[in-house]
């Protein structure tokens, strides 16, 4: 007897363990751990992952597996182990983690259908729906308002049965090819038999007399200017045949990659790469922190480390933050390693992601470049893992399982005995502290390539501008600088951390601010659509003409978003051509790439954008970077706001003067004296590190302490508060005296989508029982969560405190 231990696709604590199923004899040699199966679960069928295959079970009445969904395992032994570990670390359900490790498309799709079993008359009403068919989709039954209780009666009678079907969403893209189906002489005969009126058919037959190799239908149609109808007639006459071929969707098919070779390494690059090479050779699972200023040539170090790995016949994973995964970065990897590279990031369609994943799974590639989830690439012989821009927040998943790619990377490095390289110009405080302690191996690259200097940074105090009577959003210096660059035909990058037009809309008469009815937040005005939008839920209304509270017409826009800046630029510098890049202009697939290409081709002078333009961009003609306002970010209720500001300013500054032309940076702010801004402007990472560490120590924040954030939400404010209070009490009771428990506190945004949000924060050094306690708390609230619309989110080492 062979038994499969299966985690089923039902996401609750009650089913968060394996269920045993009998493997039918005929499949005994087929079913392996890591495969997806379809199993009967109660009255229905669900998808599940085989975690183990064994020869006995504690249960006596086992049901057999229903179906095996994969030919080869989709999760390796290693990934199964890591999946269990992540689930435990993040207090998630196993199924959630395994799902997160695979491309979306491999998730199961569920379908119900109704089947008539007997020739016996079934109820008239049902017969009409079936209209003579034996099977019908349950969906159709619902759509056509079928009588459900009547159906159940017939099910009880045994006349009708409900089938549960588990399908994979997986689809392979196919292309249709046309090929001759007869010997040439037979085609020639057919040609003569064809009526002279059927000119197009004759033309096609003639083509295949000369050309016997299959041709893609699309191409045939354009070449002979014909239609599918004509081809189909020939196919029907059995003269031609259609062949369906599976093809990979190639997201980069229109892009040419010029092959590049290794560049000679500078002195500091050599010093940095040697220990990495050594770790590769000696199969050491060492973690390196590569601290290199922007433009110091980190990417070349990555590339040559990977070359060494590939020479040894091993594989490499490279993680890049979501937004920095610009075509530029992909370009560099593709041009160095060609078709050995698979790319996985959010701009790909689900189908494209699946195809890229398949290449990895089939070992057709040995390098993966991708965002967070690419850390789960199913390689089995990894020689190096690289995480670029290590401090980026996108490496932490913001839904369950809330894992951090860096921690998974270290775990995988352990397993494969290979180095992990964390690269950044502004490492996270936690990482740099670990490097200083010797937990990570610190590699420093303090100089820019080719003796380039970091561009000088000028800080403009916007309060002075106001005193001087300048009420625009551009300081005189910035405006002047923009104008000179445009004259010199150089390019400009302008950064603003806020999309939309204005941050809030207020009535001047009564001071009423337009707020979202479902969230505790002001609405943002979007000028292009002339709407007020909530950035936290999908609420949007047409812009109001008069104040809702006092009916006055004196409504004013406050705060500045990218749309407003774009408009102001047109007004102040009519000759400027501006490209705006934010979530609103890059929502469509491929638009991100298109906008950047346009800017690269110098079709615009100014690139204006939010966060997404801060990283990875490298345009040689950019000589001025302007930061319009950093103050909003600096004053967020987040202990990392100083660090985030420092990182952002450093990253943005790095966009200027990366090549021959000298660069310049102008930062506008209302708090020029702040140490984040001061030190960023002088590129003093070390000094910033020391100063910020002191603050963190004082407030008992990371890296001195670990944090756990528990977020509770409920439609009723009192309920949310009360539950949070109880959770705080329970934690206080069960955690050690060393832990600090803060709360219950209202979240920075108390209400989102009509749900009230409260939180509890734990600061601790070592609490081995913490996860177990939290699991128990969640189980204690099982009923409230399932039937009473309560949610309890737990985030270990959170990035966002909102």
* Nearest residue (CB) to DNA, 155 versus 661: 155
Which CB atom, from 7 or from 305, has the smaller least distance to DNA? 7
Query: Is 760 labelled as part of a ligand binding site?
Result: no
Nearest approach in angstroms of CB 19 to DNA is 4
Would you say 27 or 557 has its CB closer to DNA? 27
Please give the size of the binding site for DNA, defined by CB under 7 A: 27
Q: How far is the CB of 747 from DNA (least distance, A)?
A: 24
By rule CB under 7 A, what string of x and - marks binding of each residue 57-76 to DNA?
x-x-xxx-------------
Q: What is the DSSP letter of 515?
A: B
Sheet holding 491-495, edge to edge: 457-461, 664-669, 622-627, 491-495, 606-609, 578-581
Task: For residue 614, give the nearest of 393, 372, 291 by alpha carbon.
Answer: 393
Q: Which class for 246: exposed (0-12), middle (13-18), buried (19 or more C-beta within 10 A)?
A: exposed
Q: How far apart are CA 223 and CA 217, in angstroms?
A: 10
Work out which of 2, 19, 389, 445 binds DNA, going by CB under 7 A.
19
Is the preceding omega at residue 213 within 30 degrees of 0, hence cis? no
Q: Is 418 labeled as ligand-binding?
A: no
Q: Candidates 55-63, 229-237, 520-528, 682-690 — which segment interacts with DNA by CB under 7 A?
A: 55-63
Binding to DNA by CB under 7 A, coded x per residue (else -) over 773-802, reads: ----------x--xx---------------
By C-beta, is 15 or 168 nearer to DNA? Answer: 15
CA quadruple 603, 606, 608, 614: dihedral positive or negative? positive
Measured from the CB of residue 602, what is the shortest distance to DNA in angstroms? 53
Residue 95 backbone phi and psi in degrees, to 5: -60, -40
Q: Which of 20, 78, 216, 520 binds DNA (CB under 7 A)?
A: 20
Cβ closest to DNA, residue 46 vs residue 369 = 46
* Residue 44 is a binding residue for DNA (CB under 7 A): yes
Name which of 553 and 786 has its Cβ closer to DNA.
786
Q: Does 11 bind DNA (CB under 7 A)?
A: yes
Name the residue nearer to DNA (CB basis): 199 or 776.
776
Strands (DSSP E) along 298-395, which ranges? 315-319, 341-344, 367-370, 382-387
By beta-carbon proximity to DNA, the closer residue of 149 and 253 is: 149
Integer Cα distance of 251 and 343 in angstroms = 9
Q: How many CB atoms lie within 10 A of CB 96?
A: 18
- The binding track of 137-156 with respect to DNA, each residue x by CB under 7 A or -, is ------------x-------
> What is the nearest approach in angstroms of DNA to the Cβ of residue 20?
4
> Which residues partner with 396 through β-bridges?
404
519 is in an annotated binding site: yes
Query: Cα separations (Å) of 459 from 559, 627, 800?
Result: 20, 10, 28
Residue 534 labelled as part of a binding site: yes
Residue from the set 1, 12, 115, 247 that interacts with DNA by CB under 7 A: 12
- Residue 697 sits in the site that holds DNA (CB under 7 A): no
Please pick, from the candidates 40, 702, 703, 715, the single residue that binds DNA as defined by CB under 7 A.
40
Q: Give the torsion through C-alpha atoms of 503, 507, 508, 513, to 10 deg.
A: -50
The tokens describing 5, both together, are 């231990």
Cβ at position 10, least distance to DNA in Å:
5
Tokens of 800: 């966002």
Query: Per CB under 7 A, which of residues 97..126 are in contact with DNA?
Result: 110, 112
Q: What is the DSSP string of 583-638?
A: TTTS-STTHHHHHHHHHHTTS-SEEEESGGGSSS---TTEEEEEE---HHHHTSS-
Give the Cα-Cα-Cα angle 413, 415, 417 (nearest 5 degrees): 60
The maximal CA–CA distance of the chain, rounded, in angstroms, is: 96
Q: Is 547 annotated as a binding residue?
A: yes
Assess 635 for contact with DNA (CB under 7 A).
no
Rounded to 10°, the helix 641-653/685-698 angle is 170
Nearer to DNA, 56 or 61 (CB): 61
Residue 313 binds DNA (CB under 7 A): no
Binding residues for Zn(2+): 507, 510, 516, 519, 534, 537, 547, 550
Binding-site annotation, residues: 507, 510, 516, 519, 534, 537, 547, 550
Interface residues with DNA (CB under 7 A) are: 10-12, 14-15, 18-22, 39-44, 57, 59, 61-63, 110, 112, 149, 783, 786-787
């Amino acid at each position: 007897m062979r038994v499969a231990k299966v985690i089923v696709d039902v996401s609750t604590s009650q089913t968060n363990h394996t269920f045993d199923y009998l493997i039918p004899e005929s499949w005994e040699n087929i079913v392996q751990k890591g495969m997806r199966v379809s199993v009967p679960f109660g009255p229905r069928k669900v998808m599940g992952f085989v975690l183990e295959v064994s020869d006995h079970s504690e249960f006596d009445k086992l049901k057999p597996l229903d179906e095996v969904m994969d030919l080869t395992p989709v999760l390796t032994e290693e990934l199964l182990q890591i999946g269990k570990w992540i689930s435990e670390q993040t207090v998630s359900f196993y199924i959630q983690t395994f799902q997160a490790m695979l491309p979306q498309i491999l998730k199961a799709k569920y379908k119900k259908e109704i089947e008539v079993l007997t020739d016996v008359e079934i109820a008239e009403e049902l017969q009409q729906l079936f209209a003579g068919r034996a099977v019908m989709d349950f969906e159709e039954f619902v759509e056509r308002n079928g009588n459900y209780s009547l159906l159940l009666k017939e099910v009880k009678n045994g006349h009708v049965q409900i089938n549960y079907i588990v399908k994979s969403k997986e689809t392979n893209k196919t292309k249709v090819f046309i090929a001759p189906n007869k010997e040439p002489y037979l085609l020639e005969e057919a040609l003569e038999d064809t009526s002279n009126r059927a000119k197009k058919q004759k033309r096609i037959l003639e083509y295949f007399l000369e050309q016997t190799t299959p041709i893609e239908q699309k191409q045939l149609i354009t070449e002979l200017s014909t239609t599918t109808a004509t081809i189909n007639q020939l196919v029907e006459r059995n003269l031609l045949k259609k062949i369906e071929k599976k093809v990979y969707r190639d997201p980069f098919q229109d892009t040419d990659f010029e092959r590049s070779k290794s560049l000679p390494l500078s002195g500091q690059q050599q010093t940095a790469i040697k220990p990495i090479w050594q770790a590769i050779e000696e199969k050491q699972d060492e973690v390196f922190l590569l601290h290199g200023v922007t433009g110091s040539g980190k990417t070349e170090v990555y590339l040559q480390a990977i070359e060494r790995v590939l020479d040894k016949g091993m594989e490499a994973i490279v993680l890049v933050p979501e937004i920095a995964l610009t075509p530029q970065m992909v370009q560099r990897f593709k041009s160095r390693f060609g078709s050995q590279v698979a790319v996985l990031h959010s701009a790909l369609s689900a189908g494209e992601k699946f195809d890229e994943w398949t290449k990895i799974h089939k070992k057709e590639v040995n390098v993966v470049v991708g965002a967070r989830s690419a850390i789960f690439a199913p390689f089995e012989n990894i020689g190096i893992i690289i995480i670029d821009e290590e401090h980026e927040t996108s490496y932490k998943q913001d839904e369950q399982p809330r894992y951090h790619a860096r921690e998974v990377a270290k775990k995988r490095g352990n397993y494969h005995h290979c180095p992990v390289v964390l690269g950044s110009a502004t490492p996270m405080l936690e990482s740099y502290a670990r490097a200083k302690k010797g937990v990570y191996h610190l590699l420093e690259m303090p100089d820019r390539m080719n003796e380039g200097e970091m561009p000088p940074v000028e800080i403009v105090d916007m309060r002075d501008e106001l005193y001087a009577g300048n009420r625009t959003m551009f300081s005189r210096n910035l405006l002047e600088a923009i104008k000179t660059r445009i004259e010199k035909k150089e390019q400009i990058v302008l950064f603003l951390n806020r999309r939309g037009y204005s941050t809030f809309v207020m009535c001047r008469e009564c001071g009423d601010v337009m707020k979202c009815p479902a969230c505790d937040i002001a609405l943002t005005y979007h000028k292009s659509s002339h709407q007020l939008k909530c950035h936290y839920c999908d609420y949007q209304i047409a812009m109001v003409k008069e104040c809702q509270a006092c009916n006055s017409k004196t409504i004013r826009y406050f705060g500045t978003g990218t749309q407003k800046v774009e408009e102001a630029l047109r007004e102040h510098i009519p000759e400027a051509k501006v490209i705006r890049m934010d979530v609103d202009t890059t929502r469509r697939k491929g638009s991100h790439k298109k906008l950047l290409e346009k800017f690269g081709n110098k079709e615009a002078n100014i690139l204006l954008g939010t966060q997404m333009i801060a990283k990875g961009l490298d345009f040689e003609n950019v000589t001025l970077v302007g930061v319009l306002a950093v103050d909003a970010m600096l004053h967020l209720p987040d202990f990392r706001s100083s660090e985030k500001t420092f990182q952002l300013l450093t990253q943005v500054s790095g966009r200027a003067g990366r090549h021959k032309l000298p660069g310049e940076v102008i930062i506008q702010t209302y708090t020029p004296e702040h140490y984040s801004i001061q030190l960023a402007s002088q590129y003093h990472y070390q000094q910033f590190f020391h100063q910020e560490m002191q603050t963190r120590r004082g407030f008992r924040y990371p890296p001195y302490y670990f944090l756990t954030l528990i977020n509770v939400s409920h439609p009723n404010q009192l309920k949310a508060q009360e539950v949070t209070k109880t959770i705080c009490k329970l934690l206080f009771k069960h955690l050690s005296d060393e832990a600090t428990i803060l709360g219950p506190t209202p979240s920075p945004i108390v209400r989102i989508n009509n749900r009230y949000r409260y939180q509890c924060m734990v600061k601790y050094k070592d609490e081995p029982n913490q996860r177990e306690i939290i699991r128990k708390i969640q189980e204690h609230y099982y009923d409230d969560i399932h039937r009473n619309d309560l949610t309890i989110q737990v985030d270990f080492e959170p990035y966002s405190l909102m």
